[in-house]
Structure formats: C-alpha cells, structure tokens
Structure 1
Amino acid sequence: MDIAFVSNVVYPDVTGGAEKRIYEIARRLAAKGHTVTQYSRHYWDGPERIEREGVIYQAIAPGKELYAGDRRSIPEALDFGVRTVPALARAFRDHDIVHASVFPYFPVLGAAVAKAAVRGDAAPLVTTWHEVWLDYWEEYLGRLSPFGKLVERYTARVGQHPIAISELTARRLKDLGRPREQTHIVPNGIDVEGVQTVTPAADGYDVLYAGRLIPEKNVDVTIEAFARAAQNDPDIRLGIIGDGPEREALERLASGMACRDRIDFLGFLPEYEDVLGHMHAADVFCSPSEREGFGITYIEALAAGCTVIGADHPRSAASEVIGDAGLAVRPTTAAVTQALSRSLSGVAATTRPERRAAQFDWDRIAAQTLDVYRAVLDETPAARQPEPRRTGVESTVLSD
C-alpha cells in the first residue's frame, strides 16, 4: 500500500503528541514493506526530500514558528493549509491513502480542496481527530471563538474517513454532525517495552503528577487530596513534574499544608527518561484532569507499574484509557482523597497496570491503523484499489 501522511509538523524535528503518533505508525508501516511519505514543513536539515527509517519526508513549505505567544499561530496554520493544495493535488493521484492530522484544521481543509481538484479517481482522505473542542473555543479564543467553532465544524463535515483517538472524541465529533458509525477508533500508543526498561529514579515519590500546570489539570485538587491522605500516612511524598501558569499559585497552596515538606515541585525534567524513572519509582500516578482527549501520561504510568487516578468527567477519556487498572473519579478533593487512600493500600486496581498498558503498544496501534486503511479501500471503487508499482514491488501486499 502507498500511504501519504500530511502534517505541518514532523517528529523528531518538532516534538508533540500528534507528530509522534505519525512517526511511530509511519515507520512501522514502512518496515512492513508499505510505501510511506509524509508531506510537511521543512524543519529538518538537508534537502527538501529525504528518507529516514524507510519513510520519505517531502517538504511542501518552509519551516515556520508554530506559536504566537502561548497559542498556536493562526497565520502559520492558514499558510500551510494554502500550500497543501497544489502539493496534494498530485498526492491524491499518486498514493492509495492520504492521511491528514486534523489540528490545526487548515491542512485538512487544504487537502479537501486538493482532492476536489483531482480529475478522475482520487485516493480516500483519512483524518485523525485528537480532540473536539466545541465550547472550549470560548476559553481558548475568547471573542474570536465563533471563528474557531466554525472552522472546527466545517472541517468535520468535509469528505473524509475520520479516526478518533477515543470514544469520547468520536462522540464529540458526532456533535459536529459526523455520524458516529462513520468514525473509526484507534487510540494513541507508547513504546511499552521502552518504558519498561527505564531504571527507577533513586529519589522517587509515592504519589506523582506529570504534566502542564494549568487550571483544567486540577493539580490543586491533587495537592489538597494528598494533604488529607498524608494525615493518615506520615511517610508518603508527592512529586509534581511540569511547569505552567499555575505554578506560583500551586506552590502557595502547598506551602500552607501541614505536609508541605513532603511536596516537591520538580519543574520540567531535562530528559523524557527522567520522567519515566519517577513513574517507575511511584506507586500512584494522580492526574484528575477534566480535559483529556486521551492521556498519554496515563499509559506511560501504567506501563511503569503505577496505579493511575484520572477524572470521571464529560471532557476526559481517562476511564477509557485506565480501565480497571486504576480509578476514574470525580475531580473533587473528597473523591480524589478516597481514590488515593485506596490506591496506596493496593486495592484500587483489578488488572495489573502493565497488562493494561500493553494494549496501547505502538505495534498494535500501527496494525489497527492499517486495518482502517483496508476498510476504507474496500469502500472505494475498484479503480482506486492499490496496484503493483512500476518498481516491481507490489503495493497490493497489505499483510502485516
């Protein structure tokens, strides 16, 4: 099969969850003999077209700053979306599948325009939806929120075969007018074996949080719940990894607790393995975040052997990810305190965390993505089915 990915960012030149997902899936599909190309901005050193780990990277736009202050740049997204149109018009003829990452929306809109311009048969457009924001646009853009809502809704309604990373995202996509039965579910993943080989931190904590220090993460609830649990267990310690606009307020909150000498703010750690090391050393990973389209840190903590506490909230997919290897509770101090006490006593999980994490290994995620491609191609006219390449390598080889 000949597959094209479309994203304005490319891993590891730009690091983030969406680009990491493309990287992990693309290189695994390439290793299985499929032809894989990613169209992106030119963030790497060297020529506009390179090959790494069997994947071809084709720059269709120069590198550009992604952020304007603390928000993604709208001009950057618009610019890349416009540049995708001429580049992808040919891609829809040359590849069997064109797979676009939805955020920041305009690449998908550009891909839809490019496909419409193709005369004759065009490859199907597959999209990946990491989140659906709906009313969150009001918090993110303020008075410009109607613009964000309009773009999101219109993106959902262009011709595509959507993949959602969780049932939560699929349901919210339905709210944008996309029938639920048309959406495939393929979760995010991690390198489970890689996580499990990391050495535990020597100076670990009993309870750990890792992530941005922003209001919706409810780190204040974690601190308050820990302080209550610590009244009955004078030896437990809490480590908070990460930084953000709430750090100063959270440090003030912690300083007023009787257990303040057992709460440490570690900031951003320099290496990914340092975070994983602390997960291995911890008994409980506590993140009652009320806005999680998925929650990669939950899987990482599960793979490291932690019991995970997440939020039972309409905007969180925590319960989908954690399953019965931890607890999803209301993001209140009382509920999280009870969950902490149960988790620290070892009675919260009925499935071993490592076993739960194995379901999200990248090998499985790549295989599920390939299954979606097969299903999509089965729905297309015969003329769009993969044909043997002129190189002599048959693209009809769809097996793993």
Structure 2
Amino acid sequence: MRIAFVSMYTEQRRRDGATRRTRRTAELLAAGGHDVTVLCAQWWDGDVPEFDQNDVTYVAVTETPAAGSFASKLPFALRRAKPDVIHAVNSPPSHVTAAKTAGRFLRTPVVVDWWAEREDDSTGASKRAARAAKYVVAPSRMVKTHVREYGVAEESVRVVPEFIDFELVRESEVDSRADMVYARDIDDHANVESFFLALAELRDKDWRAAVVGDGPELDAAKQTAAELRIDDRVEFLGDLPPEEFVPVMKGARVFAQTAAVEPFATNLLWALACGCVGIVEYQARSSAHELVENCSRGVRVTSPQELAREISVAAHADDLTVNEAFAEYDRAEVLGRYVDCYTEAIDDYGFF
C-alpha cells in the first residue's frame, strides 16, 4: 500500500507527542512492507528535495515550516506521490483541509491522526479538519470524545493506541536499581512534583526512585527533590531508549503516572507490560486512567497523599516482570489496526 503522511512538523525538527507518534507509525508501516512517504517541511541539510531514513521517504513541501505556503503547495506534492491513502496529522488543521481538497481530485481517502491541538490551532479550523476526514484515528477514548465534540460521527472515529515492542519486554534483563519509576518528557505538564510529594510522605521508608526523561523543567524537578530532602534517593537517568529503560521498569515495583496532559500514556503502558503496579493520579486532560481500568495491577488516585498510600500497598504485591495482559499493544497488533482502517477507507471511497 502506498501511504502518504502529511505532517509539516517531524520529530527530527520538533519533538512532541504528535511528531513522535507520526515517526514511529511511519517507520512501523515501512518495516511492514508498505511504501511510506512523509510530506513535510525540510529538516535535512542540502538542496535535495527528498531524504530517506529508516525506509521512509521524506519529501520537502516547503523549506521551512510555514502553514500557509505548506497548505498551498501540498496538493501538488500529493499528486506527485500518488498515494492509495492520505494519513494527515491534525495540526496544523489547514493541512487537513488542503489534503481533503487534493484527495477529492485524486480520488484518495484521507485519514486524520488526532493527537492534540497546538496553541495556534483555532477551534473553527480544527472542527473543519475533523469533519474533512473519512476516518479519524485517536490514541485514546479521551481524544475520541474530544473529536466527537467537533461533530464527527461515532463510526468515523477509530481508537488506535500507541504501541510497544512486547518481545523486548519478554527478552530484556532486569535492572533492580529503583523501586519506583517516573518516565516522561519533563515539561510544563509533567507534574513530577506530585510524585516527589508522595515520596516525601514515605521519607521514613526504605526506597529508591528513578526519573527517566529530559526537558525544560528538569532542573526545576531536581530542585524540588532537593527541597524535599529526597534527592539522595532519586536518580535522574535522562532520556533512555527502550532497550535501556525497559530493564529498569522490569526491576521496579511501582510506576507513578502524574502528568497533567497525556493523550496516551505510552511510558505507563511500557511499565504495565513490565509488571509494574501502575498508580495513576487522575487528571482531566490525561487518558492514563484508561490503561488501568479493570487492571489488577493498576489503581487511580487523586492526590499525592493517596499516591503515597498506594505505593505502600504495592510494596506487598507479587513480583512480576512481564504482564501478558498488555500483549495486545504489541506493534504488530497495532499495525493491523492502522492497515484495517486504511483498507476500509479505500474500500468505502469506491462507493462515492
């Protein structure tokens, strides 16, 4: 299948949840034998209009990110790509409407992958983008509900979660350096303070904690740990690839999920698959609680004090390093969901 991704921003230029999801999905599909092109703003050096990386072909629609010129040039780039299906990210929304216009002339369906709106995205433009798609793919029920509020029919929104490499979980060694783990980009929404406040409640207990991730608020997080006098037992590991953080999670007993914004809690998913007890502090703009619903090794809390109590309870849980209940999130399973959605969109398009 020839799949054209439309994403002005790529992870190579701008790292966030949306660009990370786009890159991982494109590379997963390419590894599965599909012909994948990403139409984007140029992020590589030189005058060449295309750049291949990890079996994905990146095509420069514009030299720099500029929503207006990108949208105006996109139809011509799509015509040259000749895709069977167009996979467009939701932001900037003008790209989706431009892709829809091009798709109408090319007789090609548009599937929109909805992660979150960015600050510059207007509500009106986002509504038009949501309604322009044949199908909208959302990473969680929370995001699906948000898209439905834009007037999209129930049957047009498919939940396709983030994925993990479950074989890596099964095969990795165990690194027992930490009893509790927090993992996420340390930004304005990380809310790692809640985790530290819970640890401070347990100051008289014997524990070790690890924080995986980097970001603009990392120094502030370290300062908070110092002010709470727990910094001698909290190890900041920085960004780690899955091959390095999976062993740490397999050796831990608890994973704390406290972020204020999370369209899909991928690190929590890794931790649950690694046998951790997932303790989720409920947040209105986070879907993390969905992963621990009906999960015997997961619980929701609403405050650092409750988090501390549940950490104490989890200390008595059975040791577990692989939780097969989360094998359905393996990358092969999720790839099938994407392909099914594309196939249905192509088949349905033939009726109109």
Alignment of 1:366-377 (within 5 A): 366-377=335-346
Contact 2:253 2:276 in 1 (8 A): yes
Alignment of 1:1-400 (within 5 A): 1-10=1-10, 17-30=17-30, 32-44=32-44, 47-49=48-50, 51=52, 54-62=55-63, 64=64, 76-91=66-81, 94-116=82-104, 118=105, 122-131=107-116, 133=117, 141=119, 148-201=122-175, 204-231=177-204, 233=205, 235-257=206-228, 259-264=230-235, 266=236, 268-269=238-239, 273-323=243-293, 324=295, 326-346=297-317, 354-381=323-350
**TM-score w.r.t. length of structure 1:** 0.75
Q: Which stretch of the first structure deviates more once superposed, 204-213 or 237-246? A: 237-246
For residue 367 of structure 1, what is the amino acid of its counterpart? Answer: G
Deviation at 1:16, TM superposition (A): 5.0
Map Cα deviations across residues 66-95 of structure 1 (whole Å, 9 max, x no partner): xxxxxxxxx63444333313212455xx32
Q: Which stretch of the first structure deviates more once superposed, 290-299 or 238-247? A: 238-247
Gaps of 5+ in 1: 65-74, 384-400
Gaps of 5+ in 2: none
2 CA distance for matches of 1:273 and 1:30?
21
Q: Which stretch of the first structure deviates more once superposed, 278-287 or 243-252? A: 243-252
For residue 49 of structure 2, what is the amino acid of its counterpart? Answer: E
1 CA distance for matches of 2:330 and 2:129?
29
For residue 326 of structure 2, what is the amino acid of its counterpart? Answer: A
Deviation at 1:330, TM superposition (A): 3.2
1 CA distance for matches of 2:30 and 2:178?
40
Query: What is the Cα-based RMSD across aligned positions, in Å?
Result: 3.2
Contact 2:252 2:276 in 1 (8 A): yes
Q: Aligned in 2, Cα 1:16/1:258: closer, same or farther, shift over 3 Å? A: closer
DSSP-derived class of the 1:170 partner = helix
Deviation at 1:10, TM superposition (A): 4.6
Deviation at 1:364, TM superposition (A): 0.9
Q: Aligned in 2, Cα 1:248/1:4: closer, same or farther, shift over 3 Å? A: closer
Which of the pair has more CA radius of gyration? Answer: 1
2 CA distance for matches of 1:341 and 1:26?
41
Q: Aligned in 2, Cα 1:328/1:318: closer, same or farther, shift over 3 Å? A: farther
Percentage identity across paired residues of the two chains: 27
For residue 59 of structure 1, what is the amino acid of its counterpart? Answer: A
For residue 83 of structure 2, what is the amino acid of its counterpart? Answer: H
1 CA distance for matches of 2:260 and 2:210?
20
Q: Which stretch of the first structure deviates more once superposed, 186-195 or 358-367? A: 186-195
For residue 41 of structure 1, what is the amino acid of its counterpart? Answer: A
Map Cα deviations across residues 28-68 of structure 1 (whole Å, 9 max, x no partner): 54455543333233334674345555544433233x3xxxx
1 CA distance for matches of 2:114 and 2:100?
15
1 CA distance for matches of 2:68 and 2:322?
42
Contact 2:186 2:215 in 1 (8 A): yes
Deviation at 1:200, TM superposition (A): 4.2
DSSP-derived class of the 1:40 partner = strand
Map Cα deviations across residues 309-367 of structure 1 (whole Å, 9 max, x no partner): 223333221122244153342331122112212222217x9x98532332211111111
Deviation at 1:103, TM superposition (A): 2.6
2 CA distance for matches of 1:228 and 1:366?
42
Q: Aligned in 2, Cα 1:269/1:33: closer, same or farther, shift over 3 Å? A: closer
Deviation at 1:307, TM superposition (A): 2.0
DSSP-derived class of the 1:130 partner = coil
DSSP-derived class of the 1:98 partner = strand
| Number of residue-to-residue matches in the alignment | 350
Contact 1:313 1:330 in 2 (8 A): no
Deviation at 1:126, TM superposition (A): 0.6
Q: Aligned in 2, Cα 1:154/1:353: closer, same or farther, shift over 3 Å? A: farther
**TM-score w.r.t. length of structure 2:** 0.84
For residue 80 of structure 1, what is the amino acid of its counterpart? Answer: F
2 CA distance for matches of 1:322 and 1:372?
26
Deviation at 1:163, TM superposition (A): 0.7
DSSP-derived class of the 2:342 partner = helix
